Amino acid sequence: MLEVNRHKNIEILSYSEVTNVEGHVGSYEVTVEKKPRFVNNDCNGCGACAEACPIYCSNYFDEYLGARKAIDIAFGQAVPFLYDIQRDNCVECFACVNECELDAIDFSQKPEYETFTVGSIIIATGWDIYEPKNEYGYGKYENVITQAQLERMLAPNGPLEGHLHRVSDEKKPEEIVFIQCVGSRDTERTYCSGICCMLALKNAKLLKEEFPDANITICYIDMRTNEKGFEEYYKRTKQKNIRLIRGKVGEVSEDPETKNVKLRVYSSLTDEIINIDADLVVLSTAALPSKGTEQIAKVINLDTDRNGFLTESHFGLLPQETKTKGIFIAGFAQGPKDIAYSVSQARAAASKVAELTSAGEIDLELIVAEVNEDLCISCKRCERECPKGAITISNGEVAIVDEINCDGCGVCAACCPTQAIDVRYSRDEQLYAEIKGLLSGG
């Protein structure tokens, strides 16, 4: 992010949100809401305000495992490097205002709106983490955590400075259990998140290096290691004396004295019930479409699948394109994928944008749908069936075709009950004349 911020042709609008998109390919009007930080750009990141602030609150960046001040920097490599105020926790004592020598703190800030004209758009809104409330004792038992929390614990800049211990008593764990596919691969979310298997293997390997004498178990449905080098990594992890049990955890309870988590696991390979008395349980939770994905889909009127991921024009042939010309998708916004897949798709989307805009103008086909206003009965069938969303009907008026987004596929003409729609240069009388000419040999 720091390198991107230094690029002269890239402008980062952090802590901002797209609220409206209008127009068409080559000329989209994008309105962005810049949310107030209550700290202006005069801030030099000295930290005097945070030292003076008397209020501590939980740190969202550390998965709520650590604390931060009500005014603080979001994280070490934040761009821009400005402090921000958590107004929900701030008591407005103004100690920060009195301490700031640059008068950079402004409690009167309001949201600002800015409109840009752009030729194309790439949507890469990422993903959110499923929170397993009351599943496997999460939120109830202290020593049940998620993979995201474990990542922050193992991070050198995390709340534990990279050295793991139990949440309940800060002791070194001796029996660690990973439970896979929490919140996914079920009737509600049937898809695989695509990252959990390798994440569990990586973290189990790291923990084994830090705690060589600890027993580490991974309970999984199936181990999906289908990318380059993944299978070899899986085999190396097994050689570290890490136990893998193919089966689901059935019962979870806590010993009130030791705070250990007691698990009953059914192994589908050995057809036996295995009891484990775990010091620490780590849940690999599902990856969900981000809230930003849902919001941008409504703003731009894009289609989503049953799970909430953005729908591409064609999964195999057009995985970056959407139904709207000039709008592309990349990364987890389109569906679950690992880092390598996300990077390759992002590069593909960028190349699509370059291909579209580098010429300075866009060539459009003239073969588009046309509406006979005398025959249109405003039944909205064409609007529902159009795969590009290029037809709109409002207030009982006749159908209106967006000629820029229409690609002349003819679906609307085929479904119209009154034959009010034809495709330019492919009208019925033209086709009949062509067929008649072919049959007559002329």
3-state SS string for the chain: CHHHHHCCCCCCCCCEEEEEEEEECCEEEEEEEECCCCECCCCCCCCHHHHHCCCEEECCCCCCCCEEECEEECCCCCCCCCEEECCCCCCCCCHHHHHCCCCCECCCCCCEEEEEEECCEEECCCEEECCCCCCCCECCECCEEEHHHHHHHHCCCCCCCCCCCCCCCCCCCCEEEEEEEECCCCCCCCCCCCCHHHHHHHHHHHHHHHCCCCEEEEEECCCCCCCCCHHHHHHHHHCCCCEEEECCEEEEEECCCCCCEEEEEEECCCCEEEEEEECEEEEEECEEECHHHHHHHHHHCCCECCCCCECCCECCCECCECCCCCEEECHHHCCCCCHHHHHHHHHHHHHHHHHHHCCCCCCCCCCCEEECCCCCCCCCHHHHHCCCCCEECCCCCCCEECCCCCCCCCHHHHHCCCCCEEECCCCHHHHHHHHHHHHHCC
According to DSSP, the residues that pair with 68 across neighbouring strands are 57
- Global pTM value: 0.85
Using the predicted structure, report yes or no on whether residue 389 has a pLDDT greater than 90: no
Using the predicted structure, report yes or no on whether residue 282 has a pLDDT greater than 90: yes
Q: Is there a contact between 348 and 371 (Cβ–Cβ < 8 Å)?
A: no
Using the predicted structure, report yes or no on whether residue 420 has a pLDDT greater than 80: yes
pLDDT of residue 442: 57
pLDDT of residue 211: 93
| Mean pLDDT for the stretch of residues 164-171 | 91
Q: Tell me: the pLDDT tens digits for 12-67?
A: 999 999 999 998 888 899 999 999 999 999 999 999 999 999 999 999 999 999 89
| Mean pLDDT for the stretch of residues 293-299 | 94
pLDDT band at 407 (very low <50, low <70, confident <90, very high): confident
Using the predicted structure, report yes or no on whether residue 203 has a pLDDT greater than 90: yes
pLDDT band at 244 (very low <50, low <70, confident <90, very high): very high
| Mean pLDDT for the stretch of residues 216-239 | 92
pLDDT band at 428 (very low <50, low <70, confident <90, very high): confident
The Cα angle at residue 399 between residues 394 and 400, in degrees rounded to 5: 90
Q: Tell me: the pLDDT tens digits for 133-150?
A: 889 999 999 999 999 999
pLDDT of residue 5: 87
Using the predicted structure, report yes or no on whether residue 363 has a pLDDT greater than 80: no
Using the predicted structure, report yes or no on whether residue 360 has a pLDDT greater than 80: no
- The proportion of the chain whose per-residue pLDDT surpasses 90, expressed as a percent, equals 74
Q: Which has more confidence, 428 or 324?
A: 324
pLDDT of residue 195: 93
- CA dist 144 and 139 (Å) reads 8
pLDDT of residue 13: 93
Using the predicted structure, report yes or no on whether residue 296 has a pLDDT greater than 60: yes
Q: Which domains does the chain have, with CATH numbers?
A: 2-117 (no CATH), 128-287 (3.50.50.60), 369-440 (3.30.70.20)
pLDDT of residue 395: 85
Q: What's the mean per-residue pLDDT of the chain? A: 92
Q: Is there a contact between 167 and 139 (Cβ–Cβ < 8 Å)?
A: no
pLDDT of residue 416: 94
pLDDT of residue 61: 92
pLDDT of residue 417: 94
| Mean pLDDT for the stretch of residues 338-362 | 89
- CA dist 307 and 328 (Å) reads 19
- The proportion of the chain whose per-residue pLDDT surpasses 70, expressed as a percent, equals 100
pLDDT of residue 356: 86
Using the predicted structure, report yes or no on whether residue 91 has a pLDDT greater than 60: yes
Using the predicted structure, report yes or no on whether residue 167 has a pLDDT greater than 70: yes
